[in-house]
Amino acid sequence: MGRKKSGGEKVGDRVAGRVKETAGMMSGDANLEAEGRTTARSADRTTYTVTPRDGKGWSVQVEGASRATSVNDSKDEAVSRAKKLAGDRRPSQLLVYKKDGTVQSEQTYG
């Protein structure tokens, strides 16, 4: 998946986002302004993923973690568990994957 960001990287992402947003406001470029906001917000989020496990079952994992937070027999159970985790730990994001590796759904909390 991805790798976990350290505190320094998060600060750098926020600064870069603010610079882009400021540049967008000064130039009147709405795209740069929106891009800056997105970068700043995503640096603060914890991303939870629901993915199929080799063999059978579904795992819930924090993006960048080496181990699953939970392993579930069904996808519905895994999604329910991930929604609870993401909802309790705002700001966060939930990505639910299909068996073919594509993203089925994405939800942002906070």
- Clarify whether residues 61 and 78 are in a common domain: yes
The answer to the question of residue 97 being in a domain is: yes
Residue 18 belongs to domain spanning: 7-42
- Clarify whether residues 33 and 76 are in a common domain: no
CA distance linking residue 58 with residue 65, whole number of Å: 16
> pLDDT tens for residues 41-55?
566 899 999 999 998
Q: How confident is the model at residue 4 (pLDDT cuts 50, 70, 90)?
A: very low
- Clarify whether residues 74 and 105 are in a common domain: yes
Mean pLDDT score, 61-84: 96
- Clarify whether residues 37 and 73 are in a common domain: no
pLDDT at 44 (0 to 100)? 83
- Clarify whether residues 67 and 95 are in a common domain: yes
pLDDT at 40 (0 to 100)? 47
Query: What is the CB neighbour count within 10 angstroms for residue 67?
Result: 8
Mean pLDDT score, 97-102: 95
Q: pTM higher than 0.75, yes or no?
A: no
CA distance linking residue 20 with residue 3, whole number of Å: 24
Closest to 97 in 3D by CA, of 50, 48, 62: 50
The domain total for the chain is 2
pLDDT at 36 (0 to 100)? 52
